[in-house]
C-alpha cells in the first residue's frame, strides 16, 4: 500500500460534453548556449525581468533566440513576472526536453519546487528536420513525452500544462495530424508567430497565459490583441493566407493566430489541448482551474492525513468530522476561486457510512461547477413591421 497519502481521481467526463493562491507561473525550456560564469546549458534559472535574463547571459549577442522569446514574454507580462528558464543545446529535440526519464524539463520542474503551472518547450529550427504530420516530425513524440511528464508530476501534486512549438508547418491543412482523436489533455501545440519564423511565439503565449486568471481563455477578445501588426504560421505565411482553413485547423486542436473584421490586431485562436471533444480538459482553461482546485484541496486535506477519525456507535464517521472537513474544503475553494470568478460553485461531499474503521480510507467527492464561455454567438437579425413582437 505504500506511504499514507491523498490520491486524486480526476473525472474527465463530468460536464457531459458532446463527441494559498495558486498562480500560473511559467517555465521555458529553449535552445541556447552556455555563457561562461553566467549560465550553463541544463541549469535552472529563475527570472523576474528581462534584465535578470540579460545579466545571466541571455542577451541578443550571446543567446539571441532565447533572448527574443524571453523579451516577448516580459513585453507582454511586464517586469516582476516570475519565469523559470533552462537552456538546451541546439542538438536537443523537444521530445528529449520532455522525456520524463531525462534531466531537462524534469529538472527544471523539480528545481522550481512545483511552482511551474505552464511549461513551454521550443527548439530553434535548423531547417533540416524531417517532416511528418505537417510539422517537424519530432513534435508528435514530444507531445507524447510531455503528457507522460505532466501525468507524473500531477501524481506528485505538481500539476502543469504544456505548450509545444509546432515548428516548420508545411502550410497544408490536410497534412496536420488530427489531435481531436488523441488523449493528451495536458498538452497544446502552437503553430503561429508574429515574425514569420519557423518556430511558434512561445514567449508571447506564456506571457499571455501568465497574465490572465486560471479560468480565462487565452483568446478572450476583451483582453486585446497579442500583436497589433502581423500574425504568421510557422511556415512563414501570413495567417490570412489560410483563413478559409481556420475552422479545419481549429478542429484538429492547434493554437494559432487570427484576426477579426473591424478589429485591429491579432488574437490567439482558442486554447485546445490534444484530446477528444468529450474530455472535460479539452481546453487549457478547464485544466488550469482543476489544477488550482486540486492544490487548494490538497493543502487543506493534508493536515488531516493520519489523524484520528471519531466514529458513531454504528461505525459511521462522526457528523462533526464530516462537517469540519467539508467546510474547510469548501471555504478555501470558495474563497480563493468562486469569489474570484474562477469557478461558479463548489460542493464537497463525504459519505458518513464508508468503512473507515476497516479500510483506513476516507473518500471525498469535490464537485466543481466551472464558468461558462461565449465561444459562439448566434445572432438572429431581420426587418419587422412590429418592433414590439
**Residue in 284, 280, 281 with CA at minimum distance from that of residue 188:** 284
pLDDT value of position 4? 63
| All residues at 6 or more sequence positions from 16 whose CB lies less than 8 Å from its CB, including other chains | none
Q: Say how far apart CA 254 and CA 248 lie, in whole Å.
A: 10
Cα separation, 179 vs 252, in Å, equals: 5
From CA 357, how far away is CA 318, in angstroms rounded? 12
Predicted local confidence at residue 6, as pLDDT: 67
All three cell numbers of 158, joined, read 505538481
For residue 233, report the phi and psi dihedrals to the nearest 5 degrees. Answer: -85, 170
How far is Cα 190 from Cα 364, in angstroms, rounded to an integer? 37
pTM summary value: 0.92
For 258-291, letters b (16+ CB in 10 Å) and e give bbeeeeebbbbbbbbbbbbeebbbbbbbbbbbbb
Q: Which residue is listed with cell 543545446?
A: 89
Q: Which residues of the chain have pLDDT under 70?
A: 1-6, 11-13, 15-22, 376, 381, 383, 389
Q: Give every CB contact of residue 2 below 8 A, 6+ residues apart in sequence.
A: none
Reference 186, options 212, 223, 213, 158; nearest CA is: 158
> What phi and psi values does residue 59 have, to the nearest 5 degrees?
-115, 170
Q: Nearest to residue 116, comparing CAs of 221, 14, 44?
A: 44
Q: In terms of C-beta density within 10 A (0-12 exposed, 13-18 middle, 19 or more buried), how is residue 135 classed?
A: buried
Question: CB of 29 within 8 A of CB of 62?
Answer: no
- Res 21: pLDDT: 53
How many other C-beta atoms can be found within 10 angstroms of the C-beta atom of residue 66?
A: 26
Sole residue written with cell 539571441: 64
Residues 370, 351: Cα–Cα separation, whole Å: 24
Q: Rounded to whole angstroms, how far apart are CA atoms 293 and 344?
A: 12
At residue 252's C-alpha, the angle toward residues 251 and 256, to 5°, is: 85
Q: What is the pLDDT of residue 313?
A: 87
Q: What is the DSSP string of 241-273?
A: GGGGGHHHHHHTT-B-EEEETTEEEEEE---B-
> From the CB of residue 129, how many other CB atoms can be counted at a distance below 10 Å?
17
Report the alpha-carbon distance of residue 347 to residue 28 in Å, rounded.
35
Q: 56 near 38, Cβ under 8 Å?
A: yes
What's the CA gap between 378 and 298, in Å, rounded? 41
**Among 281, 285, 255, which residue's Cα sits nearest to residue 268?**
255
Domain map (residue ranges) of the chain? 25-275
The DSSP code for 381 is: -
Nearest-angstrom CA–CA distance, 71 and 79: 10
pLDDT of residue 354: 87
* pLDDT score for 380: 76
Q: What pLDDT is stored for residue 372 in this prediction?
A: 85
pLDDT of residue 387: 80
Q: Say if residues 69 and 27 touch (Cβ distance below 8 Å).
A: no
3-class DSSP state for residue 140?
helix
Residue 160 is classified by DSSP as -
**Tens digit of each residue's pLDDT (9 = 90 or more) over 65-95:** 999 999 999 999 999 999 999 999 999 999 9
Amino acid at each position: 500500500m505504500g506511504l499514507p497519502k491523498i490520491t486524486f481521481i480526476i473525472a474527465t467526463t463530468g460536464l457531459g460534453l458532446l463527441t494559498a493562491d495558486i498562480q500560473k507561473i511559467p517555465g521555458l525550456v529553449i535552445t541556447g548556449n552556455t555563457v561562461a560564469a553566467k549560465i550553463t546549458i541544463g541549469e535552472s534559472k529563475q527570472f523576474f525581468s528581462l534584465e535578470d535574463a540579460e545579466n545571466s547571459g541571455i542577451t541578443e549577442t550571446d543567446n539571441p533566440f532565447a533572448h527574443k522569446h524571453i523579451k516577448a514574454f516580459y513585453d507582454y507580462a511586464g517586469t516582476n513576472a516570475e519565469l523559470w528558464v533552462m537552456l538546451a543545446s541546439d542538438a536537443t529535440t523537444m521530445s528529449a526536453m520532455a522525456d520524463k526519464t531525462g534531466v531537462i524539463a524534469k529538472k527544471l520542474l523539480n528545481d522550481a519546487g512545483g511552482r511551474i503551472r505552464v511549461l513551454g518547450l521550443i527548439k530553434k529550427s535548423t531547417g533540416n528536420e524531417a517532416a511528418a504530420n505537417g510539422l517537424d516530425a519530432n513534435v508528435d513524440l514530444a507531445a507524447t513525452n510531455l503528457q507522460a511528464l505532466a501525468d507524473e508530476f500531477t501524481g506528485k501534486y505538481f500539476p502543469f500544462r504544456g505548450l509545444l512549438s509546432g515548428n516548420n508547418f508545411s502550410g497544408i491543412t490536410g497534412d496536420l495530424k488530427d489531435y481531436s482523436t488523441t488523449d493528451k489533455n495536458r498538452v497544446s501545440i502552437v503553430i503561429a508567430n508574429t515574425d514569420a519564423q519557423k518556430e511558434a511565439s512561445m514567449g508571447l503565449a506564456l506571457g499571455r497565459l501568465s497574465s490572465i486568471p486560471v479560468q480565462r481563455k487565452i483568446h478572450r477578445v476583451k483582453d486585446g490583441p497579442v500583436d497589433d501588426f502581423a500574425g504568421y504560421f510557422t511556415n512563414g505565411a501570413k495567417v490570412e493566407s489560410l483563413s478559409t482553413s481556420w475552422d479545419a485547423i481549429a478542429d484538429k486542436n492547434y493554437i494559432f493566430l487570427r484576426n477579426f473584421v473591424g478589429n485591429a490586431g491579432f488574437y490567439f485562436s482558442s486554447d485546445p489541448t490534444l484530446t477528444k471533444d468529450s474530455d472535460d480538459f479539452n481546453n487549457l482553461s478547464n485544466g488550469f482551474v482543476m489544477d488550482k482546485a486540486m492544490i487548494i484541496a490538497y493543502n487543506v486535506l493534508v493536515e488531516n492525513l493520519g489523524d484520528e477519525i471519531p466514529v458513531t456507535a454504528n461505525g459511521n464517521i462522526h457528523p462533526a468530522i464530516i462537517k469540519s472537513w467539508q467546510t474547510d474544503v469548501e471555504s478555501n475553494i470558495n474563497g480563493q476561486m468562486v469569489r474570484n470568478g474562477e469557478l461558479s460553485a463548489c460542493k464537497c461531499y463525504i459519505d458518513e457510512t464508508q468503512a473507515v474503521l476497516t479500510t483506513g480510507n476516507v473518500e471525498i467527492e469535490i464537485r466543481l461547477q466551472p464558468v461558462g464561455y461565449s465561444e459562439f454567438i448566434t445572432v438572429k437579425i431581420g426587418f419587422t413591421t412590429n418592433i414590439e413582437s
